[in-house]
Amino acid sequence: MTDPLHMLKSVFGFDSFRAKQEAVIQHVINGGDALVLMPTGGGKSLCYQIPAIIRPGVGVVISPLISLMQDQVDALLQLGVRAAYLNSAVSWSEANFIENQFLYGELDLLYVAPERLLTERFLALMRKASLSLFAIDETHCVSQWGHDFRPEYIQLSILHEQFPDIPRIALTATADQPTRREIIEKLGLRYAQIFSTGFDRPNICYRMELKKNSKNQLLGFLENEHPNDAGIVYCMTRKKVEETAKWLSENGRLALPYHAGLDSDIRQQNQKRFLQEEGVIVVATIAFGMGIDKSNVRFVAHLGLPKSLEAYYQETGRAGRDGLGANAWMLYGYQDVVILRQMITNSDANEQRKFVEQRKLNAMLGFCETTACRRQVLLGYFGETLKNACGHCDTCLNPVESWDGTVAAQKALSCVYRTDQRFGVHYLIDVLLGKKTERIQNFHHDQISTFGIGVDLSKEQWFSVYRQLIAMGFLTVDIDGYGSLQLTHACRAVLRGDQSLKFRKDPILVNKKTKRQTKVVSTHWKNFADQALWEDLRQCRLDLAHEQNVPPYIIFHDSTLEEIIRCKPGTLKELGKISGVGEAKLRRYGMAFLEILEEHLIYQLDDS
Ligand code: ADP
Ligand code: ZN
């Protein structure tokens, strides 16, 4: 039997296993069930691919999304592994051919969509074939509380019932405990060994800015830090998606919209361009994302707030799968808090669900308003403790001051009370600042005790106070859509003076160019020769990718090209030592890349 480490080197071109990979692989090769919890980019695929190749029979991989399967199979074929997929995109005759390959054991891995796997036809086929294992990818899709719920996933318990001798490996990047318990229960994985690596994504820099003018802020961020990079911009509404994509295009970026309201052809085409071209920005609603396997997404920008930290973690997690530096950048403001609170209150969900959603939103808002290290808060939510502050999130890089806001909170809350909980934030602030507007006079609110008691703070500061009071759950926003604020029970302690409050001092936004905060991939090589080499290597990769109609990163990852530039291999043997260059790729592409290296070397010698 081939040994896993040897296979890692010869087929995948990597030197050593990452944390837990080897243990999982051994366990599954020996026939055990496993539940693998690793962050995005952690290297989950190898955990089932290597055992599937080594164990006799075909490994069946259940994967929820067509694009994801396609990408994985393309990547495996590049490595010389015998892989195929069956889903609705495969024609009848192709499917027949693949089914035969499956029956006769001519495949190492077969990817199938859950709905197809559950058909009587496919179950019968599996009974006849020889199987090495079942891998259930994106296992959190069984969770009814989760945002990726897929009903067919629940029925996957039949794998265990009908094929008790075939090892199962379930994998997910979703971290929270309730989901974990649901997976184990629904899929009958009580006896599976759990392998968890922790969920930190050290290469992602988490940052947040107060929303002022979102378009200009976004453009500034892109110009300063990602002038040529591919990335995703998430917006809350379809309209905002369209506007933002248009605005970015007018400002010289290749930006494509993606949301559920677009024609499916256009959606697919835009997704394909994002995967296959370099430097494309997709502006999207949350409809875009799961199954985006592109490894060199250098930033994920949020112009609106996700509904939970799980969603935030998953969306930002699409950045930096290749392990190189990436930014998770978000704009956040008063309106976001209001809109999300209203969305939950107004939804048709039952009370239990609303309660769960409120709690999740509270955690999200707490994360936004924190003065502590973002990474500590984020990982803390998933039950992990990070001993030291991370040193490269925004609050670590630019510590945020806090101030004692007890008195300000009392003023703000009593102003809500004195005006009968019927007014929105602009009106309340005008009362606090003692503005004699027509409306205020009509309601005789220039005669109440809170009129003019807030002149010690500016309008912006009061906005910040109200935003934080809502985020902390002292105020709710009305359900009629006018944005009036109401007190919650929690207010009493503050109004009575039994509870003191600390507020975050919002950093003053200056519209100057901010300095690059994180070491984001060196697409700009310091040395001119290296920059030219980088561009030629990327062009070569793009040409090879286009010939085969696959994304460029499937030929070689950015990190592999970077290592080539650093090491400048001169022979096939040397090139084969670079991480990510396995035997099959060396055979297929080695000469093409060596030629480019050679040309550059001569050119440099000429120059000197
Ligand atoms: P996940 O499915 O957990 O998001 P992947 O399996 O796609 O992650 O792996 C992420 C990246 O890490 C891929 O580019 C993969 O080739 C690379 N990778 C995985 N394991 C190793 C390893 N042992 N050494 C080097 N690179 C690895
Ligand atoms: Zn930090």
Task: Give the mean model confidence (pLDDT) for residues 13-31.
Answer: 95
Last residue of a domain, one of 450, 472, 504: 504
CA 288 to ligand 2 center in whole angstroms: 28
208, 190: one domain: no
CA 50 to ligand 1 center in whole angstroms: 12
Tell whether the model's pLDDT for residue 452 goes beyond 90: yes
Is residue 128 one of the residues assigned to a domain? yes
Amino acid code (one letter) for 571: T
**Which of 427, 398, 402 minimizes the C-alpha distance to 415?**
427
Candidate of 11, 18, 47, 201 to mutate for ligand 1, largest count of ligand atoms within 8 Å of Cβ: 18
Tell me the ligand closest to 76's alpha carbon: 1
In the structure encoding, which two tokens stand for residue 293, read together? 């396997």
More confident residue, 10 or 483: 10
139, 155: one domain: yes
- Per residue in 412-432, pLDDT (tens digit) is 999 999 999 999 999 999 999
Amino acid code (one letter) for 300: V
451/435 Cα distance (integer angstroms): 8
Task: Give the mean model confidence (pLDDT) for residues 440-449.
Answer: 95
Is residue 511 one of the residues assigned to a domain? no
CA 375 to ligand 2 center in whole angstroms: 5
DSSP letters for 256-321: EEE-TTS-HHHHHHHHHHHHHSSS-EEEE-TTS-TT---TT--EEEESS--SSHHHHHHHHTTS-T
State the CB neighbour count (10 A cutoff) for residue 376: 20
Tell me the ligand closest to 204's alpha carbon: 2
Amino acid code (one letter) for 190: R
Q: What is the pLDDT of residue 256?
A: 97
User: Residues whose CB is under 5 A from ligand 2 (ion)?
Assistant: 373, 375, 389-390, 393, 396
349, 437: one domain: no
List Cα–Cα distances, 66 to 71, 169, 293, 555, in angstroms.
Answer: 9, 20, 12, 20
Residue 465 near residue 414 (C-beta atoms within 8 A) = no
Is residue 519 one of the residues assigned to a domain? no
Residue 403 near residue 413 (C-beta atoms within 8 A) = no
Residues in contact with ligand 1 by the CB-under-6-Å rule are 14, 17-18, 21, 38, 40-46, 295, 321-322, 557, 579
Q: Tell me, what CATH number does 564's domain have? A: 1.10.150.80
172: exposed, middle or buried (Cβ count in 10 Å: 0-12, 13-18, 19+): buried
Q: Tell me, what CATH number does 294's domain have? A: 3.40.50.300
Q: What is the pLDDT of residue 224?
A: 92
224/255 Cα distance (integer angstroms): 17
Q: Which residue has 């309209």 as its token pair?
A: 239
Q: Across 398-437, where does the E strand assignment appear?
A: 402-404
460, 489: one domain: yes
Q: What is the pLDDT of residue 522?
A: 47
SS3 of 15-55: CCCCCCHHHHHHHHHCCCCEEEECCCCCCHHHHHHHHHHHC
158, 18: one domain: yes
Tell me the ligand closest to 199's alpha carbon: 1
Is residue 454 one of the residues assigned to a domain? yes
Residue nearest to atom 10 of ligand 1 (CA): 41
40/200 Cα distance (integer angstroms): 10
Tell whether the model's pLDDT for residue 521 goes beyond 60: no
Indicate which atom in ligand 1 lies nearest the CA of residue 42.
3
Q: Which residue has 């040193």 as its token pair?
A: 391
Candidate of 12, 61, 562, 563 to mutate for ligand 1, largest count of ligand atoms within 8 Å of Cβ: 12
383, 422: one domain: no
386, 414: one domain: no
- Per residue in 322-381, pLDDT (tens digit) is 889 999 999 998 888 888 887 887 788 888 888 888 888 888 998 999 988 999 999 988
Residue 313 near residue 367 (C-beta atoms within 8 A) = no
SS3 of 496-557: HCCCCCEEECCCCCCCCCCCCCCCCCCCCCCCHHHHHHHHHHHHHHHHHHHHHCCCHHHHCC
Is residue 245 one of the residues assigned to a domain? yes
Give the pTM. 0.79
Q: What is the pLDDT of residue 175?
A: 61
Candidate of 15, 46, 74, 200 to mutate for ligand 1, largest count of ligand atoms within 8 Å of Cβ: 46
Is residue 523 one of the residues assigned to a domain? no
Last residue of a domain, one of 453, 469, 504: 504
Indicate which atom in ligand 1 lies nearest the CA of residue 47.
6
Tell whether the model's pLDDT for residue 514 goes beyond 50: no
Residue nearest to atom 20 of ligand 1 (CA): 43
Q: What is the DSSP letter of 10?
A: I
Q: What is the pLDDT of residue 606?
A: 56
CA 392 to ligand 2 center in whole angstroms: 5
337/366 Cα distance (integer angstroms): 11
76, 172: one domain: yes
163, 263: one domain: no
Is residue 318 one of the residues assigned to a domain? yes
CA 388 to ligand 2 center in whole angstroms: 8
Indicate which atom in ligand 1 lies nearest the CA of residue 75.
16
265, 236: one domain: yes
CA 535 to ligand 1 center in whole angstroms: 24
Task: Identify any residues that bridge with 477 across adjacent strands, giving them in sequence order.
Answer: 485
Candidate of 11, 15, 20, 45 to mutate for ligand 1, largest count of ligand atoms within 8 Å of Cβ: 45
In the structure encoding, which two tokens stand for residue 585, read together? 């790729």
Domain count, the chain: 4
478, 556: one domain: no
Last residue of a domain, one of 397, 430, 458: 397
Range of the domain at 546: 528-607
Q: Tell me, what CATH number does 409's domain have? A: 1.10.10.10
State the CB neighbour count (10 A cutoff) for residue 276: 18
Is residue 145 one of the residues assigned to a domain? yes
Tell whether the model's pLDDT for residue 500 goes beyond 80: yes
Q: How many CA atoms lie within 13 A of 602 on its CB side?
A: 5
Q: Are strands 109-112 and 83-86 parallel, antiparallel or unpaired?
A: parallel
Q: Residues near 373 by Cβ (< 8 Å), separated by ≥ 6? A: 386, 389, 390, 393, 395, 396
241/233 Cα distance (integer angstroms): 9
Share of the chain above pLDDT 70, in %: 95
498, 581: one domain: no
CA 10 to ligand 1 center in whole angstroms: 15
The H or E element containing residue 474 is none
401/264 Cα distance (integer angstroms): 47
Tell me the pLDDT band of 506, cut-offs 50, 70 and 90: confident
